[in-house]
Structure 1
Amino acid sequence: MLLVTLLSGCAGLERNAHADALAAPAGLQRELIETDGFVLTAFARISRRGAPLDLYIEGDGLAWLSRSEPSLDPTPREATGLALAAADPAPNVAYLARPCQFTPMAMSPRCGIPYWTGKRFAPDVVASMNQAVSRMAARVPGQRINLVGYSGGGALAILIAARRTDIAFIRTVAGNLDDEFLNQIHHVSPMPESQNPIDFAARVATIPQIHFSGADDTVVPPVVAQRFAGATGGRCARAVTVPGLAHASDWSSRWPALLAIAPACSSPQHQDGK
């Protein structure tokens, strides 16, 4: 047990160092945000208070070691969500890690395996993340928020947006936007203690949004984004499949070009084909 703890600690240090190396060149500064449920790790660059905030949410990280063995530390090895944030040239960029990622476990006593497995999208997780979004939003008073979520962070982007009135755009990358359907695809257990983003599709239907999927993604295949866009009614949501990319591909190298694709709502007349 001592050896496992030591190895886990060393791995955590390596993953934290990797995150710092991603963030530093982009001017993203590490900080901790205390919420009612968890202490969350964040990185931020706020350089123009009169501009919108692009806010990124990390994926599930290292939640599982295998199909049946959960990890003891969900901190991501690659931090794709943070890499996307670092590739964003906007003046105001913030990134939120998920509960129990990067933050020392002792700082969040509630951290435990359920919160990166079956309860990863539980209401208390959503509430904690939403509190952190509000803290970041307070730094750009009166400005709108552009949410971006990678993988499981895409699920939280939808669940958070459903609670707020200040979201301008939603973008997801390889987003788990229907966890019940996705778990059926992979023949894994359902997550009854988590909220399913597709159940909230109607609540975010009027927010312009784009859901990017990799054409080669077998973890979250493009049909998931397509189903979600359809559930919103399709007027403001687009599902875009990107050739040549899989779930764990280098999305950040393509991100500036994908960011240039602006989310927009079609007019009702256009939607009806009139």
Structure 2
Amino acid sequence: MCVTPIRSMIALAGLLMLTACGGVAARHEVRSALVANADWQSGVVQAGLFDIAASWSQVTTGETLFVYLEGDGLAYVTVYRPAQDPTPSDPVALRMAVQDIHSAGKAAQPVLYLARPCQYTLPEHGRNCSRKYWTTGRYAPEIVASLSMALDQFKQRFQARHIVLVGYSGGGALAVLLASERSDVTGIVTVVGNLDLAYWAQRDGLTPLSGSIDPADVAPKIANIAQLHLAGGRDDAVGPDVTQAYMAALPAGAKVEMLGFDQYDHHCCWARDWREISQRPEFSRIPYWSTP
């Protein structure tokens, strides 16, 4: 059945509102609607310790693979109560990915979305899932290793040579960590990324993420990789100061830039405006990124 774009938008908006009071099934429906409306495909891949939920564009081959990494999702129900399932209520990185400017046109390249381990996979594909992997160990070495193995599989599938990583929120932290372990990442874009865990935890009086790797600790390893870090002036969850703390850990001459959006917060309005944002001239610093 054909659905007009307006009706699709209304239906998706309704699903997003339902997740506020709905359960895991409602959260899965949001992803399903986004993927169906974009005419993408989805699947689950075995990658190391975990099964990774993925979605990808129609383009089956391309020299550059653009990869979107999801945020932390529903890590906690309350401040002190971890969620039983970290599947996000609103998959911002997926909503950005389906708008990627590289997935259409004569020079179209493959675009891939990777959820975090244990998102969209419980209970059927929940190998090794435990709450530490969406709380203190959300950026653990085994998380990074699993996502890197998933990247290897899709890179081979699409016959790609280069990878550009785009990470939203905690996905930004993982973009940095993945790049520090790989030799094929040519560019990193983070959106309200949590890039300096020690600074962030100390600033907000939080328990340190003891099972995680701090992106700021590996910053010198990726100084030669082009990076663009987007920050929201009204973001009270992470904030531009966390980005600045990470950038301070980079050596002089690093290929890095921060792009601030004064009126944006941690959630609004990155996905809504992504197509326009991603065509700004600052993105030309990222190799293989198309800008007008």
Q: TM-score, normalised by structure 1?
A: 0.89
Cα distance between partner residues in 1 of 2:216 and 2:35: 32
2:264 corresponds to: 245
2:52 corresponds to: 40
Cα distance between partner residues in 2 of 1:185 and 1:263: 33
2:276 to 257, 260, 263: 257
1:197 aligns with 2:215: yes
Post-superposition Cα deviations, 1:195-251, rounded to whole Å, max 9, x if no partner, equal 000001011110111000111000011011112223223530111111211001131
1:111 corresponds to: 129
Cα distance between partner residues in 1 of 2:81 and 2:160: 45
For residue 228 of structure 1, what is the amino acid of its counterpart?
Y
Cα distance between partner residues in 1 of 2:62 and 2:97: 19
1:212 aligns with 2:230: yes
Relative to structure 2, which stretch is displaced further, 203-212 or 222-231?
A: 222-231
Q: TM-score, normalised by structure 2?
A: 0.84
1:67 CA drift (Å): 1.4
1:79 aligns with 2:100: no
1:32 CA drift (Å): 0.4
1:105 CA drift (Å): 2.5
Post-superposition Cα deviations, 1:148-173, rounded to whole Å, max 9, x if no partner, equal 00000001000000111111110000
2:14 corresponds to: none
1:25 CA drift (Å): 2.2
Cα distance between partner residues in 1 of 2:39 and 2:224: 33
1:130 corresponds to: 148
Relative to structure 2, which stretch is displaced further, 17-26 or 51-60?
A: 17-26
1:22 to 22, 28, 34: 34
Cα distance between partner residues in 2 of 1:154 and 1:11: 26
Percent of aligned pairs with the same residue? 35
RMSD: 1.7
Cα distance between partner residues in 1 of 2:200 and 2:266: 14
1:50 CA drift (Å): 3.0
Moved over 6 A (4+): none
Cα distance between partner residues in 1 of 2:51 and 2:145: 12
Cα distance between partner residues in 2 of 1:147 and 1:179: 20
Tell me the secondary structure at the aligned position of residue 149 of structure 2.
Answer: helix
Tell me the secondary structure at the aligned position of residue 158 of structure 2.
Answer: coil
1:271 corresponds to: none
Matches within 5 A, 1:86-105: 86-91=98-103, 92-105=110-123
For residue 174 of structure 1, what is the amino acid of its counterpart?
V
Cα pair distance change 1:24/1:257, threshold 3 Å: same
CA contact (8 A) 1:215 1:241 kept: yes
Relative to structure 2, which stretch is displaced further, 24-33 or 109-118?
A: 24-33
1:11 CA drift (Å): 1.1
For residue 50 of structure 1, what is the amino acid of its counterpart?
G
1:142 CA drift (Å): 4.4
1:263 CA drift (Å): 5.0
Stretches of structure 1 lacking an aligned partner (at least 5 in a row): 1-9, 266-274
1:150 to 151, 168, 187: 168
Stretches of structure 2 lacking an aligned partner (at least 5 in a row): 1-21, 104-109, 287-292
1:64 to 65, 70, 76: 76
CA contact (8 A) 2:39 2:58 kept: no
